[in-house]
Amino acid sequence: MKIKKAVVTAAGRGQRALPLQTLVDRDGQPKSALQIIIEEARSAEVDQIGIVISPGQEEAYAAAAGPYRRMLELIEQPSPVGYAHALYCAREFVGGEPFLHLVSDHLYISTGPQRCAQQLVELAKAESCSVSAVQATRENMLPYYGAVGGRRVAKHNHVYEIELVLEKPTPTEAEQSLIIPGLRAGHYLCFFGMHVLTPGVMELLAEVVKKEAGLPLAAALDALARKERYLAVEVQGHRHNIGVKYGLLMAQLALALDGAERDEVLAQLVDLLAVRQRDRK
């Protein structure tokens, strides 16, 4: 199973400007969020990346890609009619091959020797099936993520056979359908914003798109779980959703604290907190 292509969706109404934001990466260099995402994909030996964008965004995204512009294919989603449709727009780019999929409003920090995309792609290659990265997530965050239910794979503590996918379930729905033994109470396996998908998902996306514009990707992934083997893995790392309140701030802090200038950033944070505490007295 060779995975040489990646698709990044960036055409959503609230998503378009996020990949264009500039942050300071772990190496101390200012980069666009898009460039950081591209480097995440490249860590998994991906050499072609399709970016699904809204009309009129070509120049902005080409500029934000920096030195990686030549390896990108910019794919227009004519109108913002949903996540599933956005991914389906990349069907010709994918061309019947398995592919890595990332969302453009998440940045990833690995806590292990490999980057998150590398961990995911290696498992997908080893198991020759679709794999979604997941993270144990508090139930109060369920309104922001798709979530999965299933069972733990024997002898693999962090790998799960997916049996059910729900988009932004309520706590009641999650408690009824998504509890997995071994997870902390009140936590569920929610999507990490990173998947390796087999080409068969495009057929399922076609069916979803025909049924109703605006349906989430979760509808196709739920169908995928019933059609073929589909795994979830808790990767060693954390996702940072830059599209939520203070998301960019928290992502920047995470990048800084994982970088070469960590001690300097910590010292500045301590100074800031000390000043705030003094001013309140």
**Would you kindly state where each structural domain of the chain is located, as residue ranges?**
5-280
Burial class (CB in 10 A: 0-12, 13-18, 19+), 200: middle
- pLDDT for the residue 81: 87
* pLDDT at site 136: 92
What is the percent of the chain with per-residue pLDDT over 90, rounded to a whole number? 82
- Cα 279 to Cα 277: distance, rounded to the nearest angstrom: 6
| Residues 51, 45: Cα–Cα separation, whole Å | 17
**Angle separating helix axes 247-257 and 262-280, nearest 10 degrees:** 130
pLDDT of 279 over the 70 cut: yes
Residue 19 tokens read as 């990949």
Average pLDDT, the chain: 93
How far apart (Å, rounded) are the C-alpha atoms in residues 177 and 172?
A: 9
Report strand pairing: 99-103 vs 72-76: unpaired
Residue 166 CA to residue 40 CA, distance in Å, equals 26
**What is the mean predicted confidence (pLDDT) over 87-108?**
96
In tens, the pLDDT along 217-235 reads: 999 999 999 999 999 999 9
Whole-number pLDDT of residue 10: 94
Residue 16 CA to residue 38 CA, distance in Å, equals: 16
- 98 sits in the region (left: phi over 0; alpha: psi -120 to 50; else beta) called beta
**Per-residue pLDDT at 225:** 95
pLDDT for residue 281 is more than 80: no
Q: What is the pLDDT of residues 118-130, one digit of tens each?
A: 999 999 999 999 9
Q: Is the pLDDT of residue 256 over 70?
A: yes
pLDDT at 16: 85
The pTM of the full predicted model, rounded to 2 decimals, is 0.92
| Confidence band, pLDDT 50/70/90 cuts, at residue 137 | very high
What tokens were used for 77?
């989603």
Q: Check if CATH label 3.90.550.10 holds for domain 5-280.
A: yes
Mean pLDDT on 141-154:
92
| pLDDT number for residue 215 | 74
pLDDT tens-digit series, residues 35-94: 999 999 999 999 999 999 999 999 999 999 999 999 999 999 998 888 999 999 999 999
Nearest to 135 by CA among 110, 164, 114, 105: 110
Torsion-angle region of 165 (φ positive above 0: left; ψ -120 to 50: alpha; else: beta): beta
Angle between helices 116-127 and 33-42 (to 10 degrees): 40
- The reported pLDDT for the residue numbered 135 is 93
Q: Is the pLDDT of residue 155 over 90?
A: no
Find the radius of gyration of the CA atoms of the chain. 19
> What pLDDT shows up at residue 213?
64
CA–CA dist 56, 195 (Å, integer): 27
pLDDT in tens, 170-218: 999 999 999 988 888 899 999 999 999 999 999 999 998 888 766 789 9
Residue 14 has pLDDT above 80, yes or no: no
Helix, strand, or coil here: 188?
strand
* Lookup: tokens for 200: 């068969």
